Each structure stands twice: as structure tokens, then as C-alpha cells.
Amino acid sequence: MKQIALYGKGGIGKSTTSANLSAALGETGLDILQIGCDPKHDSTRMLMHGAWIPTVLDLVRERGDAAIATDDVVFNGYAGVRCVEAGGPEPGIGCAGRGIIATFQLLERLGALNGDVIVYDVLGDVVCGGFAMPMREGYAEEVYLITSGELMSLYAANNIAKAIARLAKRSRQTCALAGVICNSKNMEGEEDLVREFAARINSAMVAYIPRSRTVTLAELNRQTVMEYAPESEQAGVYRRLAEDIMKNTRTSIPTPLEIDELEELARRFAQV
């Protein structure tokens, strides 16, 4: 079983990438489980044709852990992808990471953490204990950072690299950085910037995803690109990403940049 986590700043297109990656993998006949680890609980919506599936944390609050069955939290989406949403607390109340912790505990009790590939879609703005759980507890063996060339997106990716490096010092640590994915904002010099950022943190850019109107149209129609426009160039990009991730055996312990180094790198490419 291959277990991968996609971490990135909120709004970077992490859930769009995760859903299309899962769809592309599902189309090959693999058994895919995607777990949305974000309080917005929108990771799997396009796989579910726009439906907001019940979140684990909401059900735990309503019924209690013991009263929940697998069918209550695991839903079949496009290409047979099994979908789970961790959920989170009401705004301003409680710990957002609690939903992730509760989800993993429940799925383990139900024996539902299985498949050929598990895709964890995790918020990366704040790598607190809950959000770091997929890495810290050995669920996610391969971590992919999703970023654009924007400074704050790179800042979030660099912070996640710091978390991986810190966790790698633990004797039982099993996760490592598997690569960087550039989800483009159409900035000048962006691809080269993200490629160099990846190299500087001891990794590599594994994919460049161009900005495409096809993504917008697909989501307006409540579908992944893979379903809405299967013959499009953008669908081909996600298929190549899926293929490359399945073949990838390169992982590393990252060497995150200091903030001054990161800013200097971004500034240099902004002057191209």
C-alpha cells in the first residue's frame, strides 16, 4: 500500500490536485482512498459530484465513536475513489487538528485504512500536532509539497519541510519528502523558481501543473477534470502526475531554508 500526503497552503489548489490525482489513479483500476484533512471538508467534493459528505468529527459529536459504521463515513466517488472527510470544529471553537486525530482513530477501529493508495489531503498553513499526525504517526510515508511561486505559498511549503526534517530525527520516523509540485499561478519565472526551491531543500520538482480554465469549468460542473474533460491537456497533466507518483522511489530528508534565504530566492526570480 502506497500512502502519500499532499501538504500545501490553503487556497493553493491542494484539494483540486488531490481529487484529480485520485481520479487519475482510480481510472487505472487501483483502489484509492482519499482523506480530506482540512476543516473546510471540501477535499472530495468534485469526486462526489459536488456533494458535501458527512464529516467524521460531526458524526462523532452527534452519535459518539462507537455508533459509527464504515458506510457512515466512507463514500464511493468518481472512478471508485473512496472518500472521507475529517471535518473540524465550529469556527472559533476547539482544535482544528482534532478532526484529523478522531478520523484516524475511527478508521483504524473500522479497519478502513486500506487500499492500493491512500491520499491524505492536508492543510499546510499551520503544522500543529493534529495536522502533522499523518506524518508523525507513520500514516503518510511520502509527502508532496504543493506550492506556487508566490512567497507565502513557498513559505508554507518551507514550514512543512521544517516539520518533516524535525520528525526525521525520531528513531521510528517513516515519512520523508517525495517531491514538490508546482501548481502554477502564471507568474513569470515561476517554474524555474519552484524547481530551484525544490533543489535547495534537497528535493526535486516532480510536476508543473499549468493554470487552466478547464479546471474552473470542471469545478463549476461539480466534477474533476478527469471526468469533465478526459481528453483535455489538463487531464493529461494529472495522468502524468499519477504515473510519476506511482513510479517515484526518490525520497529525502529536506533541508529547509532560512526565511532570509527564501525571500532572497523569491526576490531574485521576481526580477527576471
Asked whether the beta carbons of 45 and 52 are under 8 A apart, the reply is yes
In the predicted structure, residue 24 carries a pLDDT above the cut 80: yes
116 is catalytic: no
The reported pLDDT for the residue numbered 129 is 62
Instruction: Tell me which of 136 and 119 has the higher pLDDT.
Output: 119
Checking if the pLDDT of 174 tops 80, the result is no
CB neighbour burial string for 117-128, b if at least 16 within 10 angstroms, e if fewer: bbbbbbbbbebe
Instruction: Give the pLDDT band of residue 168 (cuts 50, 70, 90).
Output: confident
Residue 272 has pLDDT above 60, yes or no: no
14 included as an active-site residue: yes
Q: Which of 2, 42, 65, 125 is catalytic?
A: 125
pLDDT, tens digit, 9 for 90 and up, residues 200-250? 999 999 999 999 999 999 999 999 999 999 999 999 999 999 999 999 999
Sheet strand arrangement including 75-76: 75-76, 82-85, 32-37, 117-123, 2-8, 142-147, 176-183, 205-209
Q: Please confirm, yes or no, whether 125 is among the known catalytic residues.
A: yes
pLDDT tens-place string over residues 121-159: 987 766 566 667 677 677 788 999 999 999 999 999 999
C-alpha grid cell, residue 128: 500543529
pLDDT at 126: 61
Q: What are the pLDDT digits (tens) for 40-60?
A: 889 999 999 999 999 998 898
pLDDT at 74 over 90: yes
Beta partners for residue 119, in sequence order: 4, 34
Say whether 247 is catalytic: no
| pTM to 2 decimal places | 0.93
List 40, 58, 162, 192, catalytic entry:
40
Residue 237: the pLDDT is: 98
